[in-house]
Structure 1
Amino acid sequence: MKKLVIKNLHKIFNIENKKVKALNNVDLSIGDGEIVTIVGRSGCGKTTLLRILCGLEQKTSGDMEIISKDNNKSNKIGIVFQEPRLMPWLTVEENMAFSLIKNKNKDEVRTKVNKYLHMFGLENFRNAYPAQISGGMAQRVSLGRTMCYDPEIILMDEPLGALDAFNRRKLQNEFINIFIKNDKTIIFVTHDVEEAVYIGQRVIVLENGSVVNDIPIPLDYYRDVTSIRFVKIKEKILNNFRGNNIG
């Protein structure tokens, strides 16, 4: 059981002798097994927040803590980027297994990789190289690699931004399946409001580096994007970005 608590988080970049505030007094609490989406304009601090959470960027000030109720000190965090970032000289199977490189039990590695090859419909492409598969399939390989690592918390930085509408919705549903079946905490960054509402149990709205709204999504999976309730929630989020007032 994990809970991620962020308190008074600040990040300032020094660019050409000027201080640029990327994150400003961010307070968030994300419970164990939640799927939370973060939405905001380009440059609002979404990616910076994820990079701090996974240790790729250092915070300027503030606190971040993963609280465990079961004394499990693993606290493994995985991240899926917008680009698949696969190694072109490795096959699909080998790319997935890369996160298990320290595991010397070959049978255990094979079992885990086969599980996610099956989950993402990639069994027939296990021996293909990244140049031989589609962008949507490559992103599934990237997600499978992260799942093989078996993190408690999965960070996703606009992982579907480069996909066409059909593959985008298909992978959105696969992310939801992962959440339902694997009891993972997922933090999913996107600039697409409809995607944020479709996937998230909560939508966090970031503006100018600050959390300006935290909106619960009281809808069951899988969601009808044309329903009145869905459209109203989407409109509520969009209202945060209209005019000078942030709601």
Structure 2
Amino acid sequence: MAGLIIRNLYKTFNINNKEVNALSNINLTIEDGSFVTIVGKSGCGKTTLLRAICGLEKVTKGNMEFTKGSNEKNISKRVGIVFQEPRLMPWLTVEQNMAFPLLKSDDKEAVHDIVHKYLEMLGLENFKDAYPNQISGGMAQRVALGRTLCYDPEIILMDEPLGALDAFNRRKLQNEFINIFTENKKTIIFVTHDVEEAIYLGQKIVVFDKGSVRSEIPVSLDYYRDTTSLEFLKLREEILGLLLA
């Protein structure tokens, strides 16, 4: 696996001939094998940061450096992303969608084993032949996650992947993410605007505000976390205080 060091990162957009800083002087260390949540209001630069990390957005200034992991220099080979929308291909089955990143592999038996490992892990074995329009939103998001896991990136980015789900499915998938993290020791960077979700999942919470890192808060609570505990509620009030200041 790999971690990530971000140094003096800026991203500027030109809007109506005016420069707008989407990211300003970001300095952040993501430890190898850690689960980091980034929380902040809508429009504060969280998604722009993820897009910069995975190479979808060219930064204006600053640099990023992988720590540990492979010697692969191609960012797309080292980083996988799960978007808010599953973005499945409607003409492919659940199994085929998950296998898509491995399409060029000549080892069909290995592909089969990898895909079925994650079908089983995510509880999708009985739906492997279903098409996206035949499954629920929560299941579609699990397929999107499975597709990323099949790709086997060193760092997984998640951009508010549970934003469109009801509370029941949201908590169910949060627990799936924790299971995958603890079992696979992937480095995960998870963006959300939900403070409770950030505390429930993260080992470290990065509070974002107006394109900058406002605070980094370590979380010492064990999984699975009691959202009604005093420690949890104190963290919630601390983060809300930072966001509302």
Determine what percentage of the aligned residue pairs are the same residue.
67
Partner of 2:33: 33
What is the one-letter code of the residue matched to 1:65?
A: E
Partner of 1:65: 65
Matched residues in 2 for 1:3 and 1:157: separation?
Answer: 18
Partner of 1:190: 192
- 1:190-235 CA distance string (max 9 Å, x none): 0000000000000000000000100001100000000111000111
Matched residues in 2 for 1:209 and 1:105: separation?
Answer: 44
Q: Normalized against structure 2, the TM-score is what?
A: 0.97
Matched residues in 2 for 1:79 and 1:155: separation?
Answer: 5
**2:3 and 2:155 in contact (8 A); partners too:** no
Partner of 1:21: 21
What is the one-letter code of the residue matched to 1:15?
A: I
Partner of 2:43: 43
Q: Gaps (5+ residues) in structure 1?
A: none
Q: Normalized against structure 1, the TM-score is what?
A: 0.96
Report the count of equivalent residues: 241
Post-superposition, which runs of at least 4 consecutive aligned residues in structure 1 deviate over 2 A?
Answer: none
Matched residues in 2 for 1:142 and 1:154: separation?
Answer: 12
Partner of 1:136: 138
Q: Gaps (5+ residues) in structure 2?
A: none
Q: How does 1:142-221 map to 2 (within 5 A)?
A: 142-221=144-223
**Structure 1 residue 104, shift from structure 2 partner:** 1.1
**Structure 1 residue 15, shift from structure 2 partner:** 1.0
**Structure 1 residue 23, shift from structure 2 partner:** 0.2
Partner of 1:11: 11
Q: How does 1:75-94 map to 2 (within 5 A)?
A: 76-94=78-96
**Structure 1 residue 3, shift from structure 2 partner:** 2.3
What is the one-letter code of the residue matched to 1:168?
A: R
Matched residues in 2 for 1:91 and 1:16: separation?
Answer: 44
What is the one-letter code of the residue matched to 2:15?
A: I
What is the one-letter code of the residue matched to 1:192?
A: D
SS at match of 1:235: helix
**Structure 1 residue 138, shift from structure 2 partner:** 0.1
- 1:107-145 CA distance string (max 9 Å, x none): 000000000000011001000000000000000000000
Matched residues in 1 for 2:244 and 2:95: separation?
Answer: 46
- 1:46-80 CA distance string (max 9 Å, x none): 00000000000000000101022x6x213610000
**Structure 1 residue 150, shift from structure 2 partner:** 0.3
- 1:24-66 CA distance string (max 9 Å, x none): 0000001100000000001100000000000000000001010
Matched residues in 2 for 1:118 and 1:83: separation?
Answer: 22
**2:13 and 2:21 in contact (8 A); partners too:** yes
What is the one-letter code of the residue matched to 1:194?
A: E
Q: What is the root-mean-square deviation in Å for CA atoms of aligned residues?
A: 0.9
